[in-house]
Structure 1
Amino acid sequence: MAYFAAVLARTNAGWDVSETELDDVETLADLADLAREAAQDDDSVLVFIEQEDAWFAVVRVDGEDDPRIFVSDGAAAARSSYGSVLTDELIDAEDFDDLDALVADVEDDDESALDGGSAEADDDEDEEDAGPLGAQAGPLGDSDLLADFGLAARELVALAGEGAVPGDALAEIAEALGAGEVLEAVR
């Protein structure tokens, strides 16, 4: 499957976007270093990664802080080489049961915010959505990583929802950040 990756560096004039290769990225530290190279001073840098029709991820790097990660579908990303770099960092690579708990936390928080009430998990649905090694399909990671840019956690999770097209979701995220045109120019 085809991958697309872009680095969005926040500057005084807006966002500077460039397509990037991930061939040399083997760890999250490698990805963070790649992002920091594009940073102006200690401004925020985002890395958008998309595997066609399967999943997308947003990684945020602020100066020397630890990267923050959001993956639209943890189970799908865990099955891909670039995605596993991200999911391995979010969960113990040997214990995919932790993925179920992390995904459930994001879904419960965001469904509660969307519905205005508490979210009840349906065990039968959870079993049907399980991926390889028991990994749960669905959002994984920090859904608040773009909140200070005006994209609330519930909106980000909605863009990762069932039936979402990863490329369209990244385009909508970029548009919400004011980087839609510059991202489209590198696609």
Structure 2
Amino acid sequence: MYFAALLARTEDGWEASDTELDDVETMADLADLARESATDDGETVLVYIEQEDAWFAIVRVDGEDDPRVFISNAAAAARSSYGEMLTSELLGHDDPDAELDALDLDGTEDGEPEHVDDDEDDDETTADGSVAPAGPLGEGHILADLGVSEKALLALTDDALGEIAEAIGAADILETVR
């Protein structure tokens, strides 16, 4: 289950709204959604996406600038539709027409069990064949100018989005949409 919210920074502070990502298929769609929530051009909008404490992502859109992204655990995110979209974008594989191959010819197509090596790390291969690392991916300094350093962002665990909202002065606003 996903939780998604938009936080727009205005002259009067932060404004929050929950959002549905049903119509979001690309990073451009997500950036457009964020820009639509801004009351003035050039405002900072943060898109929070979280999946059942498995991973979270922050997408930051500042006016017409390209979106900036941080994902807490790219391998976990790559296993979900929205997370896969974000990891693919960060790894440089943002082709919206890319699809899974119909055949996975890895030697298991005849029903043979797939060998799992205990020494393998927890990286995840995405639909486009890129490897999403088990751990953070993206811009760790994405919130530094708002008071959340890269070190602090990397140390977040349980209620990361709540802790970020508290650090930037938007905790009460975020709670209203949770």
TM-score (norm 2): 0.79
Give the C-alpha shift of residue 85 in structure 1. Answer: 1.3
Query: In the alignment, does 2:177 pair up with 1:186?
Result: yes
3-state SS, counterpart of residue 128 of structure 1: coil
Deviations 1:4-59 (A, max 9, x none): 00000000110000000000000000000000001122110000000002100000
- Counting aligned pairs with the same residue, the percent is 65
Q: Which residue of 2 aligns with 1:86?
A: 86
Cα distance, 1:178 vs. partner? 0.2
Number of positions where the alignment pairs a residue of Structure 1 with one of Structure 2: 149
1:13 aligns with 2:6: no
Return the letter of the residue paired with 1:31: L
Gaps of 5+ in 2: 95-118
2:121 maps to what in 1?
Answer: 128
Structure 1 residues not aligned, in runs of 5+: 95-125
C-alpha RMSD over aligned residues: 1.6
User: How far is 1:131 from its partner?
Assistant: 3.3
> Aligned equivalents of 2:132 and 2:67: distance in 1?
22
Which residue does the alignment assign to 1:108? none
Deviation of the 1:132 alpha carbon? 4.2
Aligned letter for 2:146?
F
Tell me the amino acid that sits aligned with residue 172 of structure 1. E
Secondary structure of the 1:85 match is helix
CA distance in 2, matches of 1:141, 1:158: 15
Tell me the TM-score normalized by structure 1.
0.75
Q: C-alpha separation between the residues in 2 aligned to 1:13 and 1:62?
A: 17
Which has the greater radius of gyration?
2
Q: How does 1:142-161 map to 2 (within 5 A)?
A: 142-159=139-156
Amino acid at match of 2:149: A
The match for 2:56 is: 56
Runs of 4 or more consecutive aligned structure 1 residues displaced over 6 Å after TM superposition: none
